[in-house]
Amino acid sequence: MFDWWNSLTGATLFFWTVAIGATVFQLLLFAGSMFGGHDFDHSADVSSEHAPMAGAEGAVKLLSLRAMVAFAVGFGWAGVLFVDEGFSLTVTIAIAMFVGLLFMGMIYGVMRFMVSLKADGTLDYANAVGLEGKVYVTIPAARAGEGQIELLLQGRLITATAVTSHSQPLPPHASVRVESVEGNTLVVSPAH
């Protein structure tokens, strides 16, 4: 094996070095993500615990570490293949650049897709406006006190504090519609 490596010269040695080095680095990134639970590419970590999650467009950068390593993998292996086939250095570099950019674009697309799958599990009561639910605990009339309703919000069945401006109390199991939100309290009216 060392004889083979020592026989490499010029462009062939360069492309083999890039291909092997980038592939090893790509495997280390993969192993670190899968087994170590560590993401070496922090460009996708743009949202904080208290801030709303950024869209996939803002969360993934084209020139991230993973995308650049993918470029090097595609560039190196395409260079190895085409230089060994006897193509000129100019053609080999052009094809290797194209393949590298293709690999980079594919990784970027996969990363964007994966980031778009992330869901923020924080309940936002503003999303309840217009939804219907059922009274769980009697809601006193004319905002004289608070009751509770059950409704399906963001894919979860929740119990929330509710008030009403309706002239009659809303008894358990009555259907209601959320009209607005005041803090963590839902303002409801009878659903017709």
In tens, the pLDDT along 113-148 reads 887 777 667 888 999 999 999 999 999 999 999 999
Can you point out the beta strands (E) in 38-113? none
Q: How far apart are CA 32 and CA 36, in angstroms?
A: 5
| CA–CA–CA angle 71, 14, 65 (5° rounding) | 25
pTM for this structure? 0.53
> Which residue is it, tokens 């993500």?
33
In tens, the pLDDT along 66-86 reads 888 999 999 999 999 998 888
Mean pLDDT of 37-64: 50
Domains and CATH numbers, the chain: 2-116 (no CATH), 125-190 (2.40.50.140)
Nearest residue to 60 (alpha-carbon basis) of 108, 27, 13: 108
186, 128 Cβ separation under 8 angstroms: yes
Write the CA distances from 168 to 16, 41, 57, 131, 176, integer angstroms.
Answer: 80, 58, 49, 21, 13
Q: What percent of the chain has pLDDT over 70?
A: 84
139, 146 Cβ separation under 8 angstroms: yes
